[in-house]
Each structure stands twice: as structure tokens, then as C-alpha cells.
Amino acid sequence: MKLLTFDTSSHYCSIALKNDNNISYIKKITSNHSDIIFMIKNILSKNYLLLSDINYVACSTGPGSFTGIRIAINIAQGFFVGLKIPIIGISTLKILAEHVRNKTNHKNFVVIIQANKKNIYWGKYIFYKKKWYLKNKELYISNKIALKKIIKLNKKWKIIGMLNNFCLYTNIKNTKDFNLYRSSALDIIPLAIQLIKNNTNNLSFKNISPNYLNTNII
């Protein structure tokens, strides 16, 4: 399988390529998310591949940078329209959960991304029998509501994400849990493969939509 993944949901752009059993990876800190186009060309060139050789394309659909998310989705949709490459969109919150799962034995995660000083993106993910499950739905909520939810959590849940900022804005002590600032294209690879192999939701792999979340504040 030749799988191309990329993430532009923050200022930290990354791209990964699974070329059968080999994986290549490029990352770059940039304010210009369109740099991902040149990064794609670079990683394909290094692996002596053309876009037409790619079997699947997967990217983060947010939440995160409005501009970055739109660019990633437009590029992915272009690959499908122009070359009929199947495309997969994956939540940034789910990508962060996958990152920590690979480093710990935990399987129940509350993922937090600080949207601004007053609000966060929130998602509860459970890894069970080699599959990810979203508990309820991802939310855009105030810091105040998030604190109330955290107090009610039992010990099985591990809090991960932009915890330094959250602690700063809410004046609480650091949770000492896993602090992350960005998602990575590397962590998209196993998630995309899982969806491809276990396509229980009958995904079309033709269309993906931005996951902004911030249309309503709870």
C-alpha cells in the first residue's frame, strides 16, 4: 500500500508517506500552510513516486487552523477529482489520542485543544479491540464547562492535549498528564489503515469536510 498523509491543522505542517513497508516523514514550522504542496512534491520525489502511484490520501480535518484545514481538504479533494485517489479525513483530536496511545498503555482519553483564551475543543476517545470509538461527540466548549466536566471524570480517563495553555487560562495546577501542542502526519497512518481495513461505516473515500466545531459554544 502507498498511503500519503498530511497535517496542516496548526503552524506545524507535516507529511508522511507509507510506501509499502517503508515510511518517510517531513515536518516544517511555517505560517504558510500552502508549503504542504512543495512538501508533497519533495517526499514523492525522494521515494521515486508519482501522485498517480498513491493508493490513498489522508489528512487532518480539524479542529485547528481555519486556513490550514481548508488548504489540506482542498488538496485532498483535488487528488480525488483529478486522479480518483480515495481520500480520508480524520479528526485532529483523534490523531492526538492515537499519538499518546502509542506511547502509553492508556486507552481512554479526553483530548483538549485550546481554541482561544475562553474556549476549547473537547473530545473523549476510547480504544477498544483495536478500534477507536468517540464517546458522544466532539465539542466546542468554554473553559468553565470543561473544568466541570474534568471534575466529574473518573480515573480511567487520561487528559491530553494543550494542557499548559488550559491550566494557564483557568488558573489551575498542571494536570501532569500528556501535554501536546500539535498533531502529526505520522499518527494519521495507523488511523487511516484502520479505516481502510475495517470500513464498517461504508465510507465512500470521496468527500471530506472541515471539522471546525466552533459553530456553537456550550
Give mean pLDDT, residues 184-199: 92
- The DSSP code sequence of 38-50 is HHHHHHHHHTT--
How far apart, in whole angstroms, are the C-alpha atoms of residue 26 and residue 43? Answer: 7
Question: Please, are residues 138 and 122 in contact by the beta-carbon 8 Å criterion?
Answer: yes
Question: Please, are residues 28 and 39 in contact by the beta-carbon 8 Å criterion?
Answer: yes
CA 87 distance to own-chain centroid: 15
Average pLDDT, the chain: 91
pTM of the predicted model as reported, rounded to 2 decimal places:
0.93
How far apart, in whole angstroms, are the C-alpha atoms of residue 72 and residue 67? Answer: 9
**Residue 93 CB: number of other CB atoms within 10 A?**
30
- The DSSP code sequence of 66-102 is HHHHHHHHHHHHHHHHHH---EEEE-HHHHHHHHHHT
Span 33-75, pLDDT tens digits: 999 999 999 999 999 999 999 999 999 999 999 999 999 999 9
CA dihedral 179, 183, 189, 195 (to 10 degrees): 90
Give mean pLDDT, residues 204-215: 84
Nearest alpha-carbon partner for 61 in 192, 216, 167, 158: 192
